[in-house]
Amino acid sequence: MSNTAVPIRPAATLLIIRNTPEGLQVFMVLRNRAVSFASGALVFPGGKVDQQDRDLIGSDLTEGFAALDPFEASCRIAALREAYEEAGILLAHRADGSRISGEILATYEAERARIANCDLPFADFLRTHSLKLSADGVAPVARWITPEGSPRRFDTMFYLAPAPADQTAKHDGGESVESLWVSPQQALDEGEAGKWFIIVPTQFTLEWLAQFRTVEEAMAATRNRAIPPIHGSIEVRDGIEMFCIPDEACYPRSFIPTSEIKRGF
């Protein structure tokens, strides 16, 4: 099979952020080493787009998605679904616009596990609890496409959303085995020190997020942000092999030495 024959699967990941007295923090999970993609990596919650995500686009359980490009709409829904499956954060609302309290959300824990295990369709869960998803519940940050030559390829949308104040984020214990709230710079520093394995898109995105002191600053930076597809390429600059991304991706830097890439993409 040629490299170009590897199918590219749509996927989504969500940066869930909060303010603390020490500054902005992001929720991250440690991938189970038994999973096939990014095993053992420290990542943002996320996963592949499912058919159930596409089916929800024009549903009465969603608002604003039908006006989006189908790829973008399905990725946003996947990001919201995966936030609940992998992080226990439910970014949904009732008909009157109110959110689910953390106390009520705790009673849904068994249903969360069933959704993650594909035993309960996300749409059925939303309908049972009279909940809706809104397209403006997340803000796009980037779009990364796994380079040719990788055994698995994904076209992944990265999104940003504030954490609800009274919900408790927690990893699922399946695909992710550990979780933490961490400042972007601390995650980068600990990755550099070897504590965490951080893949390239996560590293670039953490560097972007590390520029902001608060949730409000980070969310403001998503307004009118360009989201070009990022494939990445290897170039030699001044005798040093670099992994390069387009300048228009609007990251703090557009290249890193390949020697800084610890393992994989």
Q: What is the pLDDT of residues 184-201, one digit of tens each?
A: 999 999 998 989 889 999
Q: Are 100 and 121 in contact, with CB atoms under 8 Å apart?
A: no
User: What is the reported pTM?
Assistant: 0.92
Domain that holds residue 187: 3-199
Q: Is residue 171 in some structural domain?
A: yes
Q: Is residue 225 in some structural domain?
A: no
Q: Is residue 193 in some structural domain?
A: yes
Q: Compute the Cα dihedral for 68, 71, 77, 82 and give only its sign.
A: negative
Give the residue from 31, 29, 82 showing the smallest Cα distance to 52. Answer: 82
Residue 20 CB-density burial (10 A; 0-12 exposed, 13-18 middle, 19+ buried): exposed
Q: Is residue 221 in some structural domain?
A: no
Q: Compute the Cα dihedral for 105, 111, 115, 117 and give only its sign.
A: positive
Q: Is residue 261 in some structural domain?
A: no
Helix (H, G, I), strand (E, B) or coil at 8: strand
Mean of pLDDT over the chain:
90
What are the angstrom distances between the C-alpha of 12 and each of 44, 47, 74? 10, 6, 9
Residue 14 has pLDDT above 60, yes or no: yes
Which CATH number does the domain housing residue 17 bear? 3.90.79.10
Q: Are strands 176-182 and 23-31 parallel, antiparallel or unpaired?
A: antiparallel
Q: What is the Cα–Cα distance from 43 to 11, expressed in whole angstroms? A: 14
Confidence category of residue 32, pLDDT binned at 50, 70, 90: low
Q: Is residue 23 in some structural domain?
A: yes
Q: What is the Cα–Cα distance from 24 to 22, expressed in whole angstroms? A: 7
Name the least confident of 4-13, 44-53, 77-86, 116-125. 4-13
Confidence category of residue 48, pLDDT binned at 50, 70, 90: very high
Q: Is residue 175 in some structural domain?
A: yes
- How is residue 58 written in tokens? 């024009």
62-100: pLDDT as tens digits: 999 999 999 999 999 999 999 999 999 999 999 888 888
Give the residue from 185, 245, 232 showing the smallest Cα distance to 209. Answer: 185
State the pLDDT at residue 6.
85
- How is residue 97 written in tokens? 């616009």
Q: Are 212 and 183 in contact, with CB atoms under 8 Å apart?
A: no
Q: Which one-letter DSSP state was computed for residue 151?
A: S
218-246: pLDDT as tens digits: 999 999 999 999 998 889 988 999 999 99
Strand order through the sheet with 240-244? 233-237, 240-244, 255-257
Q: Is residue 151 in some structural domain?
A: yes
Q: How many domains does the chain have?
A: 1
State the pLDDT at residue 148.
81
Helix (H, G, I), strand (E, B) or coil at 63: strand
Residue 36 has pLDDT above 60, yes or no: no
State the pLDDT at residue 173.
63
State the pLDDT at residue 3.
47
243-263: pLDDT as tens digits: 999 999 999 999 999 887 755
Q: What is the mean pLDDT of residues 120-133?
A: 96
Buried-exposed string 113-137: b where 16+ CB fall within 10 A, e elsewhere? eebbeeebebbebbeeeebbbbbeb
Q: Which residues pair with 139 in a beta bridge?
A: 160
